[in-house]
Every structure is written in structure tokens, then in C-alpha cells.
Amino acid sequence: MELLKKLCGIHSPSGEEHVINKFILKYIKENQNKWTVKPKLYHGKGFQDNIVLVFGKPRTAIFAHMDSIGFTVRYNNEIVKIGGPVIKEGFKLTGKDSKGKIEGEIIKKGKKYYIDASRKIERGTSLTFKLNFRNTKNFIQSCYLDNRLGVWNCLKIAESLQDGIIVFSSWEEHGGGSAGYLGKFIQKKYNVYQALISDITWITNGIKHGKGCVISLRDSGIPRRSYINKILKIVKQSNINFQLEVESSGGSDGNELQKSNYPWDWCFIGAAEDNVHSPNEKVHKKDIEAMLDLYKLLLKKL
């Protein structure tokens, strides 16, 4: 879990994916010679802060967003949300501006929230939850398991992937936008039309810890059922534990693909967490293991 801990500690909220972009590119370059297939790498001009890895003769693309929720400093140390973080007095935030590092707690004055820092912070500075990574017998608990766990999943898949595409995308937590043009590139360049969304979902009254990885039948978007059925047929023939999710809200890069002008089939598959978008996100280790196993199976069979 050391790699996951490092990923969770990277300050890279929506709009500042360049920070985790550098970490991932460095990791790829240091490890790709040990992988079963050395991928073709696309990044830089025309890709903004996104990364696309192509292995062998791909049939399926995995999308994992790199960004996290967080806060932006407004005026007089007032903070406004990036995405949908839980905002609560006492939560510790960190960041830095041109004057140096920043650390403080969230406080409330009237109806507005502020960071109780020791000095005035430069406006426009981003803040994220302070890392408190807890690795216990059954659980991982930390800020930003959504979606650093999805990124971790992809980096582990890359070790043995022979045919497939891995996409590290941006802005998902604050409106999306990158999945559409990355999808366009993939379809025009590689003629791939099906996707899996490596992201983290919620513990609900129908989704429990330790019962397996979640396959989402719908959220605010509805994927094409024939594609979902194809996935379920493959998974039911395995011994991998999974749970089926039905939600009316929430979204992912899958929704961005569906709203694009390109014919994507997509399915959200990921472990479920408690304490969503807080410093204390919590995922069961069995569900992490099932998530990785499901992706490895589907990349071979789809």
C-alpha cells in the first residue's frame, strides 16, 4: 500500500493535475521495462495534463481520473469548494503559495467557511485535506481514495496488461471535460469503442463493505444494457465477488463519454467507500482486491 499512500498524499485537486501527472509519468518511466508489454505513451501538447497508455492491440480502454476535490482560497482566507468536498469545522487543510507552506483548520464565521491559518493566504491558492493514511487489518482509510485508488488500480493492471488502453484523465470532480476529447483520440487512432471506469463509489443501504467490487448498473447516467450484460456474463463465470449498484445520482468519466459525439459503451466498476469526499474515506481491502481481479479478467475477456 506504499504506492497508494504516496498517491493519496499528492496535492492535485481539479485544475492542478500537472502535479500528479509528473508523479505518474516518472513512475511509468521507472517501471515500464518490468511490465509484460511496454506501452506507447501519449502526453504533453494536445493532451493537457492527461496521460494515455496503449498496450498491444487494444479492445478496451480504462479511464481513471487523477484529480481530487479540495478548496480554493478566496478573500481574507475564505475558502470555496472544488468539486463536492465535505466541509466541516476542524478538518485540517494543507497547501502552499509563494510565501511557503500552509496548514490550518476549517472554521465557520456566519454562513461562510475559512481556513484558520497563521497568515493571509494568496487568493487563488488551492488547499486539500491533510493526509492521515491508516492501513489496518481489513481497511484502508485516507483522504482521496477517490480516486487515487482508481489510479493505483490502473498502475497495477499495467504490470501485466497485454492488450488495452489506460487513460488518466482530469477535472472529473469539478465538471469533467477531458474524457470527451480523449475518447475522440482513442476512437480515431485505435478504433476502440468500449470503456471501463476505474473509480470509487459509495457504501449505501444496498452496498456493503467486504462483499466485493461494485459494478454499477446506473447512476445519473444509464450505460447501454447490452454492454453491461456482456460484462456480467463474464464476471458470473468467475469466482470474484461483486455487488450490483443502482443509483439515481452521481457520475463519472462514463457520463462524459456518453455525452460526447462518439459511440462509447462504458461501465463504472470500482470499490465502495464510506465517508465520501472527506479526510476519512474508508475502503475494505477485500473490495480492493476484487476490483483489481475484475479488471484483469475483463481486459482479457472483453
List % helix, strand, coil for the chain (3-state, nearest 5).
Answer: 30, 30, 40
User: Mean per-residue pLDDT for 3-18?
Assistant: 98
pLDDT interval class at 222 (50, 70, 90): very high
Domains of the chain: 2-68+134-301 (3.40.630.10), 70-129 (2.40.30.40)
Q: What is the pLDDT of residues 26-60, one digit of tens each?
A: 999 999 999 999 999 999 999 999 999 999 999 99
Mean pLDDT, residues 210-217: 98
* Mean pLDDT of all residues belonging to the chain: 97
Grade residue 97 by pLDDT with cuts at 50, 70 and 90: very high
The DSSP bridge partners found for residue 196 are: 62, 267
Between CA 176 and CA 199 the distance in angstroms is: 14
Residue 177 has pLDDT above 90, yes or no: no
The dihedral formed by the CA atoms of 177, 172, 196 and 25, expressed in degrees to the nearest 10: 90
Q: How many CB atoms lie within 10 A of CB 246?
A: 11
pLDDT band at 266 (very low <50, low <70, confident <90, very high): very high
For β-strands 70-73 and 126-129, DSSP reports them as antiparallel
pLDDT of residue 63: 98
